[in-house]
Amino acid sequence: MRLKKVLLAGLVVLVLCSAFTSAATKITVWMTYGGTMGEVVARLIEEDFTPKTGIEVEYVPMLATPDLMTKLILEILGGTAPDVCSLEGWQVIELGMRGALETMNQFSDYQQIVDRFFPGFSGQFIYNNKVYALPGESSWTQTYVRTDIFQELGLAPAATWDEIPAIITKLKARDMEFYYFTGGGQPRTLMNFTFQRGHDIFTPDGLASNLNHPEVIKAFTTYTDLYTKYGVPLEMPDYQTFTTGEVPYMVHLHYIYGLIDNAAPHIKGKWEPVHTPGTLQADGTINHAVPTSSFGYVIPKYNQNQAKKDAAWEFLKWYTSDETLAKMQKGFFEGPDRWVLAFGTRDSFQSAPFYEEHRELINEVVAAGRSMTSIPGGYSTYRYIDFAYNQVVLQGIDPKEAMEQAAKDSTAELERKRKEFARFLVDM
């Protein structure tokens, strides 16, 4: 009888331990890939990650909308947050500085993992020397040219922005246009010119707007002159007009590469990506820096279970590995929509099943990229850049006047945000 009680007690302990282990090694992952792309990710988790680590994963596709951050906050407050979640870049710092996210550099092998990425994709997730995310799906500004039309017209892609007006004039003489896509927003577009001048829209200490700096005003003037002086269209059906030849030269985002490559076989060999026009430096070199950005993979802070944190970190290490990203890119590209997506690591650019003939150029562009800066409340400055752009381009206000007012207003807004966030910033 006594032996039976001992065996029964041992069995209960074993069951409890097994249950605890199972709970500690099962994580929930929210990602913005549904449909066929979600199937690719879920299959890789099931066939590769879980067998290798023993960690089970509940994969939950989520739409990449502003509501996602609100939902995540509510889940964190309720103690039911996912163990891994993907967020837009600006959302990462807003949550991180509130203490809602685990820091990535708490893990001993963090540096080894982050070294996988081009620097331009990871900087936006750092604030006060704390890293709140690993880069996910990445984006950058990329320029494209119809080589057949340029050869016919005796033109070459511009090395600097100073050469663009002459190209615009020659294109307009043939009823063609140069086009600058602003779908990433006016602030992102402005940063292309600002970064090339070695500046940012915030002061180095992140405490004020830098929009009234003389070099930033020059950058803004160069940008808006495209529309006010040289008649660049404000909007165009960009992809279609590039393939028809109406717009043989355009600055766009990287994803348009896949649309042209996959959906316009009739112009294959007649176009190519090139460096975005740059800015001449004092030493005679040309700075071709373009803004880069990424979704961020975060570990929400909602409990003190170290096993859960470690499992989430193991997942992110696996997910951002060269082997996993190569399989994922291949799966996305071979799907019905043939998605051309990049993930910010050096080796994933080398193993991608696309860009083959343009790989060297794309690598140069990305290596020169600079990440969008994130500071608490920094998104408010974007709004004032939009205001300034509309004042200059649509209302004819002087660029210097518009930017000085934008700097004054955005600095005041940043100060208000610092007071609002003071209780969080003191603890950082």
Higher pLDDT, 377 or 24: 377
Of all residues in the chain, the percent with pLDDT exceeding 90 is 71
pLDDT tens readout for residues 339-379:
999 999 999 998 888 888 999 999 999 999 999 888 888 88
Residue 359's pLDDT is what? 93
Give the pLDDT score at 422.
Answer: 67
Residue 15 banded pLDDT, cuts 50, 70, 90: very low
The confidence score (pLDDT) of residue 128 equals 84
pLDDT at 418 (0 to 100) = 80
Q: Which two tokens stand for residue 133?
A: 């995310």
What pLDDT sits at residue 423?
63
Domains identified in the chain and CATH numbers: 24-138+292-371 (3.40.190.10), 141-291+376-425 (3.40.190.10)
Q: What is the pLDDT of residues 127-138, one digit of tens each?
A: 888 999 999 999
Q: What mean pLDDT do residues 392-419 have?
A: 94
Confidence of residue 117 (pLDDT cuts 50, 70, 90): very high
**pLDDT over 50 at 280, yes or no:** yes
Q: For the residues 232-245, what does the mean pLDDT come to?
A: 92
pLDDT per residue as tens digits for the range 178-231: 999 987 678 889 999 999 999 999 998 888 999 999 999 999 999 999 999 999
> So what's the pLDDT on residue 100?
92
Mean pLDDT of the 4-12 span: 39
Confidence (pTM): 0.89
What pLDDT was estimated at residue 427?
56
**What pLDDT does residue 277 have?**
98
| pLDDT score for 4 | 39
CA 421 to chain centroid: 25
110, β-bridge pairs:
none
Q: Name the average pLDDT for the chain.
A: 89
* pLDDT at res. 292: 92
Q: What are the tens digits of pLDDT across the range 147-193?
A: 999 999 999 999 999 999 999 999 999 999 999 998 767 888 999 99
